[in-house]
Every structure is written in structure tokens, then in C-alpha cells.
Structure 1
Amino acid sequence: MSLVSHATSERRGEDHWLLRFELHLPCAYADLWPALTTEDGLRGWLAAADVLERRLGGAVTLRWLNTGTVATGRVTAWDVERVAEYTLSEHGRIRFHLEAVGTDSTVIRFVNERGGPEEVCLDCLAGWHEHFELLESAMAGRPADWSAWTDTRWARLREAYASFTRA
């Protein structure tokens, strides 16, 4: 059973959204931090980090290995082992805030502030949800096999998020 629950989205004006996930992962935050902030870690669940200057103001270029999307930007917050925030051309502001729970569990509070119509918001909710499932697998020693990726899971998640908005 996945530890990833459905996200929330909040409209912040015309074609502007705030997407939120809260994940509880059974691993120490010191083990989780590299998955969010290093080239090898990001490749295992999210994207190839073609450029990643790990400091406030540093350059970032992420290339999604499942879709080919390339996003460039900057590190806009950096508090080692606690907060990593990237503001990217294609995805807006993405922020990972880690909080240790004991010694072997971590809460990630994730926020994506971005523009786009509701259809794009739904696409992103499904995309982030699937990527967080991939993060969960990567932390269990099973990084993503991008050559085997299909959009089947994403499509099911997309429909589930769309059904929430219709309810």
C-alpha cells in the first residue's frame, strides 16, 4: 500500500494554483535529503539533474526522463537537511520541507505554486502523485526504471483527481 495520499489544490487567482502533498516516509531525514537534492537521488524518482548548484541562488536544470520536459531555474530556498526549493520555468516553485519524526521517519511537506488552467493543475497533481510513489520505491531501494515507464498509472491518477473536482 502506498504511503502517498491524494493532494490538495487551491486556486490562487486566475490560472494560478497551490498544490500540496504531505508524505510520511519510514526513513530518516538524513537518508531522504539526498533523494531531493543530489543528481543521483533525483534521477531515482523525479528527473535528471543536468545542472544542480546546491546552494541558495544556484542554477538548476531538470530533465524529466519520462516526458522529456526540461525546466531551468534557481534554488530559491536552501536549509540543509530541512528545506530545498527550486523555482523552475515549467513547474513554478517546488518546495520540499522535511521534518524528522523520531529517528526513522520523516514528513515531507511539499508545495508546488504554479500557473496554468485547471487541466494543467490536474495533470500536475497526477504527475506529482506518481513521482512521490516513485520516491517511496526509490527509498526502499527500487529506483525508477525510466525505460519501462508508461503513462498508465498517471492516467488513472489524473482521472481520480478529475473526479474529485466534479464531485
Structure 2
Amino acid sequence: MESLELIGQLFAGTDNYYVKNLKEENQNKEYDGCTFSIQNYTFRSRLAKKTPKKKGYFVVFWKKGSDNKNQAYSFDEMPDKLIITVIDKERKGQFIFPKTVLFKKGILRNENSNGKMATRVYPSWETDLNNNAMKTQQWQKEYFIDMSEGIDTQQVFTLYFT
């Protein structure tokens, strides 16, 4: 899993920061779907994919409901953070979204909304976006770490553990 390799690199050589309770999510295997914990935080992780005809990177996160239909996760089912890793040749980075933000953005299912089972993410290197994509990139950028030319360890720890 490419995304887990990157996460492992982020915390290599640190004391007490290691992936535990790793569980693959087979329904999203194509996107490196898994859950795990580091310290007292829980994470759901996905690897986003470049699509040929649209800007940004596409990613899915869904589960089978009791009726065996795909559905978005609810607030209670979501770990503390959703990590979306983007690896595109020499460019790489991660979005680390707190579940409270996913809830506010209508991504998580609740009594008033079905939520979303997939989305696009727009790293800082994506330019010439349409208006909707630019608006999405604006709110997403607060949760993005560009790791293409090095890793800002302080930013990593801030987004992962606050």
C-alpha cells in the first residue's frame, strides 16, 4: 500500500508514533482503504487517483449498509481523521481532514443528508481550476501538506494530532 508506506516514512525514527490496529477495508481496496491508529488517534486512509479528463484527484470512502447498498459513513462510524494521500510521479502530499470538518462539509451521512461516498481533492499544485474546484481547493488547503520537496514535520504533527 503506497499510502501506508508514506505514512510510515513520516513517523520513522520517532518514539511512540507507529501504526497499530491496522485493518484493510476490502470494499475500498483499489484506493488502499484501511483504518489504523497512532497514539490515541484513529484514522481512515485512502489513496486518491488522477483522472484523465478532470482536474484534481478522485477518491472513494463508503461502506455496505445493512441493506447491502453502498452508503457514506456517519459521524459515529468515522475515525478521528480521514487521510487522503496523493502520489503523482514526483509530487506527493496528504490531506488530513478531521471528522468534524467532513461533517460540516456534508461528506458524512446524518439524519438530514446521505453524505458523500466519493470526492475530489485539489492539492496546491493543481491550477487553472473551474470555480467550483477553486472553492473546494480553498477550504481543503488548510488540511493539505505538500511533501513533494520535503516534509514539514511540525505541520504533519499538527494535522495528525490536533
Give the TM-score, by structure 2 length.
0.30
Report which of the two has the higher share of strand.
1
Report which of the two has the higher share of helix.
1
Give the TM-score, by structure 1 length.
0.29
Q: Whose RCO is larger (CA < 8 A, sep 6+)?
A: 1
